[in-house]
Amino acid sequence: MAVLVFVLYCSWAVLLCLSVQAYENLALHQPAWQSSTWRSNYTADLAVDGQYTDLAWNGGQCAVSYDGQTAEWRVDLGGVKNIHHVLIHHVKCKDTNYTTTTINYLVNITCPYHGRYVIYYNNRTHLPYPNDYTSITAIALCEVEVYDCPSPGYYGENCSLKCPKNCHDGYCDSMEGTCPACKPGFIGPRCMECDAGLYGNNCSKNCSLTCENPGVCHKVTGHCNGSCLAGSEGDMCENVPKLFQSVQYMTIVSFLGYFVRDLVSTSSDNTTNVP
């Protein structure tokens, strides 16, 4: 499973993104968990319930944890999903530099990977951090939205394009359609080319080892990219020349002749020595 770590310096948080339709919020109403809950009505599921009109910490629409050196929240997407981007709606607050109208509470993170869990992790364990930061932290999430195509294996702005058939596990980049990995035997951004030593429509055939460069051939036809090794001919260097066949035949006949002659000679010697 692919994992991407984003450091959000504005809140000293770390987000880990662990695979006509439009992008949908895959996290909506999915099971959520957090490391602690401040009070019974500030539970983790409030960050995936689709309600974030009131971003105040006590507005009843946000997940809030106890203060501590670390705080963690996560959502289970129910299976491995492609992920295009994640939107985080933070609790509204203010400090000496920002007001509730100027601070950016919405964070948009591009996450071109696939996975099952999206994890929000906030910590005060790794010094140094900015002087204005407190020594404790907490979860304060009003909504976490995870967007991508609702059906795995599709990409494009309207999720109308099918991922290349040779992408590993059927996943591809949500915008470009490129494959993060290929099925065995295929290479290239869209896994449309045969790996070294293979050719054919399904890249399932092996290039001839009697090519001048053994195992190197045209990826479609299988023809050798040059001449053949001695003793072979043809586009794929799989044929034995007639002259070479004649030499082989003469060699075999000559060998058999010597063998028969030696056999007769041995038999004669044995007959002579019988008392």
Query: What is the domain-level CATH number for residue 53?
Result: 2.60.120.260
Give the separation between CA 4 and CA 243, rounded to whole angstroms. 63
Q: Domain range holding 117?
A: 4-150
* pLDDT at res. 53: 92
Q: Provide CB contacts within 8 A for 37, sequence distance 6+.
A: 43, 44, 63, 64, 65, 66
* pLDDT at res. 198: 95
pLDDT tens track of the chain, all 275 residues?
Answer: 333 333 333 333 444 444 456 889 999 999 999 999 999 999 999 999 999 999 888 899 999 999 899 999 999 999 888 898 999 999 887 555 555 555 678 899 998 788 899 999 988 888 887 777 888 999 999 999 999 988 888 998 888 999 999 999 888 988 899 998 999 999 999 999 999 999 998 999 999 999 999 999 999 999 998 889 988 889 999 887 654 444 444 444 454 454 445 544 555 555 444 45
Helices (H), the chain: 242-272
* pLDDT at res. 255: 47
| Domain annotation covers residue 233 | no
Q: Please give the DSSP secondary-structure letter assigned to residue 170.
A: G
Helix (H) or strand (E) holding 72: strand 70-90
Helix (H) or strand (E) holding 106: strand 106-123
| Domain annotation covers residue 156 | no
Give the separation between CA 129 and CA 135, rounded to whole angstroms. 9
| Domain annotation covers residue 144 | yes
| Domain annotation covers residue 121 | yes
- Contact assessment for residue 104 and residue 92, using Cβ atoms and an 8 Å cutoff: no
| Domain annotation covers residue 50 | yes
Q: How many domains does the chain have?
A: 1
| Domain annotation covers residue 22 | yes
* pLDDT at res. 76: 98
| Domain annotation covers residue 93 | yes
* pLDDT at res. 241: 64
- Contact assessment for residue 121 and residue 14, using Cβ atoms and an 8 Å cutoff: yes
